[in-house]
Structure 1
Amino acid sequence: MKSVVVLGGYGNFGRRIVEALAREPDVRVFVAGRDLKQATAVAQEIGGAAEPLRLDAHAGDFTAELRKAGATLVVHTAGPFQGQNYSIPQACVAAGTHYIDLADGRGFVCGITALDAEAKLNGTLVVSGASSVPALSSAVVDALGAQFASIESIDHGISSGARPPGKATMDGVLAYAGKPFKQWRDGQWHQVRGWQDLTRRSYPTPIKGRWIANCDVPDLDLFPERYRGVQTVQFRAGVDPASNMIALWFASWLVRIGVLASLQSWVPTLHRTASALARYGSKRSAMHVTVRGVALNGEPAVRSWFLLADQDHGPFIPCFPAIALARKLVRDEISIRGAMPCMGLLTVDDIISVGEGLDLRVVCG
């Protein structure tokens, strides 16, 4: 029997992953974290193969505890990842345990290859970024890219509904508000600022127009390497309603000009406020990927892909790649070993099929 340890298994993402994997035959799924009371409550609520496990991933005996639990795989959901080191995946490798995380921190995901040799030596797979970016985004570009002789630009992003993400996710994405980071544009690196360059993006009905702005994600480094010859890679995100997005854009300027050092200290207040007001806002989210370049017939071409979510089902999507990859591992359907960002391991269908039964719609154009 395989055993999956979900770190942060009682959090927003962790709970969804536990629930999905607990349906797998011959698999034990541990709701793991430092709070045994919360872990027990979630395990009892989900039932089936879910079991509580008190586990401190930062303790010195973490590797020994993984061996004791007979862990086949660890799924790390306890962000934010922007300030984390690689002690957890390193402990997993030492225990001979596969590792998946949902990180969207640019440095964390891109740097995971530092563990490649060690992971191969121990026969483990270490995957970072099994989430909307770069897992789903790269799978879509791979699919669209098959229609091109060369790719010139990739423009992609996410617009969420009014329901806020978990505090850890909000902390991660607001950490760089107003702060500089690099973006590949016109064949050169340019400096941009987080949550600035506000742009109006059109989505298919019923979402239509949304405001989006610069976000710092792993794709900005990974895509220029993966899709050689691409001249521009942009990622923007936004929130609904528009008033929240305009407020975030304004706050990013307060950081940029030095009035505020960061928005991170405001996260608890912002999260409470957004949660209280969510019922008055939209339940619709969207993701877009637009690829421009030269088609196989030599003509200029543009291809777009949209994922539309209703009924507040958008926040489930970041879990899909981790669930899809975990299923492949416990079913022994993947043999690759080493440490890598989550690209080239899953197809779009692998990922989207996880959401069967949810109010999701793919539109291509």
Structure 2
Amino acid sequence: MRGDNGDFPGRQARRGAVAGKAFGVVVLGGYGHFGRLIVERISGIGGCEAWVGGRDRDRATAMARQYGARVLHVDLCDPGLAERLRSTGASLVIHAAGPFQHLDLRVAEAALSAGMHYVDLADGRAHVLGIDALDARARALDRLVCSGASSVPALSGAVVDALRPRFARLQGVHVGITASAQAPGRATLASVLSWCGRPLPRSGPGVGVAHGLQGPVRHVFPAPLGTRWLLDCDVPDLALLPRRHPDLAAVRFSAGLGLDLYQLGGWLLSWPVRWGLLPDPVPLAGAMQAIAQRLAPLGDGCSGMFVSLSGSDHDGRPLSLCWELVAEREHGLYVPCAASIAIARALATGRLRARGAMPCVGLLGLDDVLDELAGLSVRAGLREDAGATTR
């Protein structure tokens, strides 16, 4: 596996300073779980100016002072949101204030009304797939509206795109993410609970229906992670990857947290939801977050991701590849932020000319995303025989 991201080719060309007028980036939810990390990294890009956006003026101000950013006191439900965004003079909105499972398009529409590009970190399937409703308007305004700039589908899709040429026929893709034991944000937990125990979409012909937080599987990551248990989850990849790679027969996504106790709890909770005994587990998000915060010290600070591909090579022989990412020292929290930062950099430097509204698949190369993790304890690598690592 490559080291701590210090040796990716072409890094200097991609990470140069932005020339000319400062490129303003408003990070909505800029003091939240992921927003604060995006503000930190955007503030380190020469020629970019970060704005910390949110309802809590005091928290936004404290975060802005820490990173030399500016403050936008704003409520996303405010009918004057577009005017508030326009008043910054910024060029891009990064929406990091989840949950995105039941999000409508009002923030993206406000960004367009303000004449700004829009990117979000959504992993809700309906929202990501529905963003193209704004395509005609975004094209008319010469703006990019992009949803899903996160670990899925942006990074997972970039991995599949990078490895697809090695296959004559790509038959299966299995994506998995294991986070550290650090307590997720309430918005993240609410997102997970929204499909806990619910049927997940079929991923291909002949594939049975899975249910959220069921279907346990274990993956053996490189050291220091080792074996992690994961459960079936709902993500945009289940629909986007078969659309992008029509020969795919099966797509699966699994996820989990660093302690096996979390997976056991999620699996147990999924059954009363599946049986109809618990109509809505989302209100439990606060209590589950409190429990997770108490258990967090038991974790090892490590997290990981894998993308396993199977099919046949150009000589007709079976081929299985497994791309893996390992993060230590809680630096895995930066991984879901990397794609949005890469898009900000590419827009600021003029390298990204795509316009319209679309899911964040095919916009970034794999190195574009990994480059934004430079200097962190994150490494990625590839090994063959994917089936030997996931059971």
Match of 2:41 among 20, 24, 43: 20
SS at 2:210 equivalent? strand
**Partner SS for 1:32:** strand
Query: In structure 2, what is the Cα distance between the partners aligned to 1:160 and 1:29?
Result: 27
1:283 CA displacement? 1.4
Could you say which residue in structure 2 is the equivalent of 1:164?
183
Contact 2:256–2:262 (8 Å) recurs in 1: no
Q: Aligned pair count? A: 362
Distance in 1 (CA, whole Å) between partners of 2:293 and 2:224 is 23
Q: In 1, Cα distance between the equivalents of 2:39 and 2:349?
A: 16
Q: Is the 8 A contact 1:79 1:103 kept in 2?
A: yes
1:278 pairs with 2:287:
no
Matches within 5 A, 1:16-95: 16-47=37-68, 50-95=69-114
| Whole-angstrom CA distance in 2 between matches of 1:23 and 1:313 | 17
Matched to 1:170, the amino acid is L
Which stretches of structure 1, 4 residues or longer, exceed 4 Å deviation after superposition? none
Superposition map of 1:1-365 within 5 A: 1=21, 2-47=23-68, 50-185=69-204, 187-188=205-206, 190-365=208-383
Determine the C-alpha separation between the residues in 2 that align with 1:263 and 1:283. Answer: 27
Letter in 2 for 1:8: G
Measure the CA separation in 2 of the matches of 1:167 and 1:244: 15
Q: Distance in 2 between matches of 1:316 and 1:336?
A: 25
Matched-pair contact (CA < 8 Å) for 1:180–1:193 = yes
* CA offset digits 1:23-62 (Å, max 9, x no partner): 2233221101111111101001122xx0111112221111
TM-score, reference length from structure 1: 0.96
Write out per-residue CA displacement over residues 1-32 of structure 1, whole angstroms, 9 at most, x where no aligned residue.
32111101111111111111112233221101
2:55 and 2:292 mapped to 1: Cα distance?
27
Partners of 1:183 and 1:234 within 8 A in 2: no
More strand by share: 1
CA deviation string 1:288-321 (max 9, x = no partner): 1111111122211111100011111111110010
Distance (Å, rounded) in 1 between the aligned partners of 2:96 and 2:217: 31
Q: Which residue identity lines up with residue 56 of structure 2 in the other structure?
A: D
Equivalent residue of 1:192, what SS? coil
More deviation, 230-239/253-262: 253-262
Q: Name the stretch that deviates more: 57-66 or 100-109.
A: 57-66
- Work out the CA distance in 2 between the residues paired with 1:360 and 1:27: 24
* Unmatched tracts of structure 2, length 5 or more: 1-20, 384-391
Residue type matched to 1:264 in 2? V
Please tell me the residue identity of whatever aligns with 2:171: E
2: CA distance, partners of 1:297 / 1:265: 53
Q: Would the aligned equivalents of 2:121 and 2:340 in 1 still touch at CA under 8 Å?
A: yes
Measure the CA separation in 2 of the matches of 1:45 and 1:59: 27
Q: Does the Cα contact within 8 Å between 1:165 and 1:315 map onto a contact in 2? A: no
| Partners of 1:159 and 1:285 within 8 A in 2 | yes
Bigger shift: residues 253-262 or 334-343 = 253-262
Higher deviation after alignment, 254-263 or 315-324: 254-263
Please list the CA deviations of residues 225-253 of structure 1 after superposition, one character each: whole Å capped at 9, or x if unmatched.
00111100000111121122111101111
Root mean square deviation, CA, Å: 1.2
Aligned-pair identity in percent equals 42
Q: Partner amino acid for 1:157? A: G
**Letter matched to residue 299 of structure 1:** R
**Separation (CA, whole Å) in 1 of partners of 2:310 and 2:155:** 18
Q: CA deviation at 1:189?
A: 6.0
Equivalent AA in structure 2 for residue 210 of structure 1? R
Q: Distance in 1 between matches of 2:312 and 2:151?
A: 26
For structure 1, list consecutive stretches of 5 or more residues without a partner in the other structure: none
| CA distance, structure 1, for counterparts of residue 133 and residue 32 of structure 2 | 28
**The residue matched to 1:12 in structure 2 has which SS?**
coil
- The answer to whether the 8 A contact 1:241-1:282 is kept is no
Secondary structure of the structure 2 residue equivalent to 1:193: coil
Distance (whole Å) between structure 2 residues aligned to residue 347 and residue 84 of structure 1: 27
Q: Deviations over 1:97-140 (max 9, x none)?
A: 10000000000001111111110001100000000000000000
Partner SS state of residue 203, structure 2: strand
SS of 2:160's equivalent in the other structure is helix
Contact 2:27–2:94 (Cα < 8 Å) also in 1? yes
